[in-house]
Amino acid sequence: MARGFDGADIQAGRLPSAEYEANFADLHPPLSGHEALVAADRCYFCYDAPCVTACPTSIDIPMFIRQIATGNTAGSAKTIFDQNILGGMCARVCPTETLCEQACVREMAEGKPVEIGRLQRFATDHQMAAGTQPYTRATPTGKRAAVVGAGPAGLACAHRLALHGHDVVLYDAKPKPGGLNEYGIAAYKTVGDFAQAEADYILSIGGITLELGKALGREITLDGLRRDFDAVFLGMGLGGVNGLKIEGEELAVSDAVDFIAELRDTKDLSSLAIGRRVVVIGGGMTAVDAAVQSKLLGAEDVTIVYRRGQQDMNASLYEQDLAQTKGVKIKHWARPVRVIDDGARRGVEFEYTRQGAGGLEGTGETFVVEADMAFAAIGQTLEPGGLDIALDGGRIQVDDDYRTSLDGVWAGGDCVSRGDDLTVTAVAQGRDAAEAMHRALTA
């Protein structure tokens, strides 16, 4: 549970019950059949479409939109799933405004792109609601693969391996599969327990045994997996959390990732206590999600503080604008110095920063953001779990085929040292690693 400052104004049930439901409703409601046809009709079906190049999973976007336009919704979903088996989640959480939709010819010509994300959701939701897989597993190969981590990379890898006829055991340390899709994304982006529905749909291909509550370095070891399986994929993400390393941090600063996970696992949002004033330290999607959800829970004054400028924030401009439309203030060029909780004042002291000749530097001028609760969202780190493996920048080093320094071991997703920390990137890496593993297993 998120902590607050001693004696601070922290309460549950700040809002009327009906307001919680409205605040955490679907951020982008699904398109109706008619709306989907109208949206699809705006696509130029470009040859060498720039939107395809901009998609990390290289979905044939003009093809799937044309299939929607011609009434072939099932075919549209398969076109998406062929490249991205987590196309439903990516339709909800992908920063399409900086990827496919930003590259859309309509965006460049008119400033209003084709609604690619919402059309992708329309097709994938239709197929998942039907409950049928568009795939049939290949003849069993007799090979066994272990996949560690049931997040986007692990699910994509496991599905593709199973599709090729390999038997897969999928391990995860948590009590539910999904990884950050289940535990780390704002509740208003994936309503109705969608992450679990998608995981169930992916696993329904068969050939995948799910083992929950088993963490690398605890219940399972890499040496044991290498001994017992023909191939191993590591997709466990980043389990550690970066600390602020400032005076008084232990007094009242909570981890934003834990806060988001707690909120997602809570059935009665009115039971969650939130401060009247909240400060979030960080500049990524997690910081925005924690800040916006604090506001939606009833916090009156919410501030994000980031050490660099707006253009340096990992959160997209769309996400930053979303936060501000929800009433969140964003303050740039400041870094935390110490936590203050002396009875007279409660909050976090910051120092203004600037870009100097040698990098980021403090100006010596400080200010205080008064707060009842403070959240840190400054990134996560790899938890080694007893790994004896080559690292690069604190993450697992991989080659172009996602092979690690260990024979028979591949890796992908946030735990590796390449690509953006996005769901869609993790899916692409899990998929491509599975193809490399398949080639090795059948050589």
Q: Alpha-carbon distance 134 to 124, whole Å?
A: 11
pLDDT digit string (tens) for 262-317?
999 898 999 999 999 999 999 999 999 999 999 999 999 999 999 999 999 999 88
Q: Alpha-carbon distance 73 to 81, whole Å?
A: 12
169 and 42 share a domain? no
Boundary-marking domain end, from 335, 353, 376: 376
Residue 186 lies in a domain: yes
Count of helices and strands (H, E) across the chain: 18, 19
Boundary-marking domain end, from 358, 376, 394: 376
267 and 312 share a domain? yes
Let me know how long the chain is: 443
**Contact indicator for 137, 161 with CB cutoff of 8 Å:** no
Instruction: Output the pLDDT for position 6.
Output: 77
Residue 139 lies in a domain: no
Q: Alpha-carbon distance 291 to 303, whole Å?
A: 7
pLDDT digit string (tens) for 225-244?
999 999 999 999 998 888 89
Q: CA of 174: how far to CAs of 195, 198, 210, in Å?
A: 14, 17, 11
Residue 48 lies in a domain: yes
Residue 198 lies in a domain: yes
The model's pTM: 0.94
- Work out how many domains the chain is built from and give that number: 3
186 and 173 share a domain? yes
Write the CATH number for 289: 3.50.50.60
Boundary-marking domain end, from 333, 352, 376: 376
Write the CATH number for 57: 1.10.1060.10
pLDDT digit string (tens) for 347-392?
999 999 999 999 999 999 999 999 999 999 998 888 876 788 999 9
Q: What count of other Cβ atoms lies within 10 Å of the Cβ of residue 245?
A: 8
Q: Alpha-carbon distance 430 to 425, whole Å?
A: 9
Instruction: Output the pLDDT for position 239.
Output: 84
234 and 276 share a domain? no
In which band, very low, low, confident or very high, does the pLDDT at 1 lie, cut at 50, 70 and 90? low
Token output for 426: 């993790």
88 and 114 share a domain? yes
Domain holding 279, by residue range, is: 10-25+241-376
